[in-house]
Amino acid sequence: MMRGFLIRLRLFLKLWFTSIYSVMTLLLIPIIGVINYNSGTYTIDALSSLIYEKTAPIWFVFILHWCFSIDVDSKFFNQLITFPVAKWSFLLERTVFSTIIFFGLTGAITVPLAIIFGEFLWQGFLFTIPVYIALCGFVILGTMIGNHSLGGLVAGIFFWMTILFGGALLRDYNAILLIYQSVQRFASGESGFFAVENHWIIFNRLSYIGLGVLCMAGAIFKINQKSV
If one counts every other C-beta atom within 10 angstroms of the C-beta of residue 226, the result is: 14
Confidence of residue 35 (pLDDT cuts 50, 70, 90): low
Higher pLDDT, 17 or 98: 98
52 has pLDDT over 70: yes
% pLDDT > 70, the chain:
81
Residue-range definition of the domain harbouring residue 187? 2-224
Is the pLDDT at 154 greater than 90? The verdict is yes
**Spatial distance between the Cα atoms of 14 and 95, rounded to a whole number of angstroms:** 17
Angle ∠(205,209,213) on CA atoms, nearest 5: 170
* Range name among 2-11, 167-176, 177-186, 187-196 with the lowest pLDDT average: 2-11
**Is the pLDDT confidence value at 71 over 80?**
no
Q: Are the C-beta atoms of residues 140 and 215 closer than 8 Å to each other?
A: yes
Predicted TM-score (pTM) of the model is 0.86
Residues 98-117, mean pLDDT to the nearest whole number: 85
What's the rounded mean pLDDT across residues 71-85? 68
pLDDT in tens, 112-147: 888 887 888 889 999 999 999 999 999 999 999 988
How deeply is 152 buried, as exposed, middle or buried, from its count of CB atoms within 10 A (0-12, 13-18, 19+)? Answer: buried
> What confidence score (pLDDT) does residue 228 get?
47
Q: How many domains does the chain have?
A: 1
pLDDT at 158 over 90: yes
**Per-residue confidence (pLDDT) for residue 136, from 0 to 100:** 96
In this prediction, residue 68 carries a pLDDT of: 86
Write down the mean pLDDT value for the chain: 83
Residue 1 has pLDDT above 60, yes or no: no
Nearest to 25 by CA among 73, 63, 53: 63
Residues 6+ apart with CB under 8 A from 142: 151, 152, 153, 154, 155, 156
pLDDT, residue 145, reads 93
